Amino acid sequence: MSKWREPVGPKGKNVYLRRRLLVLAGLVAIVVAVVLIILRPGSTGGATGAREVEVPDDLVQVEQQNQSETAEAEDPDAIQACAPGRLVVTPITDAATYGPEDQPLLSLGIENTGDEPCSVDLGTAGMLFEISSGSDQIWRSADCQQNPDHRAVILAPGEPEETEPISWNRERSSPETCETERERMPGGGASYHLRATAAGVQSSGTAQFQLY
């Protein structure tokens, strides 16, 4: 599973029509050169017989379409947002057990199960990590989050991506304890579960780990 990145979409090409356009451009350059030779000082010729070379409308339209498609492919905002039903989210911890001084690293895997690339927000504002022990809600990454950011990432079909990890300091959280001392969670083999959410899609299962 690779770390998420900013992929680039496909670019449209029409080699045959581009070659026709290049040939016509060369013909225009030759006509211009001949006209300049006729009109240079001391020349006895005239330019009244020079013809304009017109570029066919179909070539101009195809070229403009290709440029538009290229611009859209390079713009992540031009890719449609991933449909929730096509996303699979998996919670990930960097270990199954942690010693007394270890801080768990939390991340998530996400996969586009559709047939086309799609865009998903994998900034801190678009993700949520939750830790529980039994029915007790212990910690939420959004409780005291500062300056959440948005980051559009394009997911290719069938290529799972993994976010960069964040650390948990082993303390209980709530919106009311952001500026106060927090309770440190016990170790001694206590079991905890991580659940992850991305783009509004919650993981179907949890990642279990133990604190010592």
Residue 184 lies in a domain: yes
Residue 147 lies in a domain: yes
* Total number of domains in the chain: 2
- Residues 95-124 have a mean pLDDT of 96
pLDDT tens-digit profile of 137-186?
Answer: 999 999 988 888 999 999 999 999 999 999 999 999 999 988 899 999 99
Residues 6 or more apart whose CB falls under 8 angstroms from that of 17 comprise 58, 59, 62, 63
Strand ranges (E), the chain:
2-3, 87-93, 97-98, 105-112, 118-121, 127-133, 136-140, 152-155, 161-162, 166-167, 190-198, 201-202, 207-211
Domain boundary, last residue among 48, 74, 100: 74
Residue 60 lies in a domain: yes
Distance from C-alpha of 125 to C-alpha of 198, rounded to nearest angstrom? 9
| 210 and 93 Cβ atoms separated by less than 8 Å | no
Which residues constitute the domain of residue 95?
A: 80-211
The answer to whether residues 116 and 186 belong to one domain is yes
The answer to whether residues 70 and 100 belong to one domain is no
Q: For 81, what's the count of Cα atoms within 13 Å in the CB-facing half-sphere?
A: 11
Look at residues 82, 64, 75, 51 and name the one whose alpha carbon lies nearest to residue 21: 64
Residues 6 or more apart whose CB falls under 8 angstroms from that of 5 comprise 153, 161
pLDDT tens-digit profile of 27-82?
Answer: 777 777 766 777 665 555 444 454 555 555 655 555 556 565 555 555 555 789 99
Place of tokens 């911890």: 93
- Residues 22-26 have a mean pLDDT of 70
| 154 and 9 Cβ atoms separated by less than 8 Å | yes
Residue 8 lies in a domain: no
The answer to whether residues 128 and 179 belong to one domain is yes
The answer to whether residues 23 and 125 belong to one domain is no
Higher pLDDT among residues 95 and 1, named by residue = 95
Query: Which two tokens mark 106?
Result: 């939390």
The answer to whether residues 123 and 188 belong to one domain is yes
Residue 174 lies in a domain: yes
8 has a pLDDT exceeding 80: no
The answer to whether residues 103 and 21 belong to one domain is no
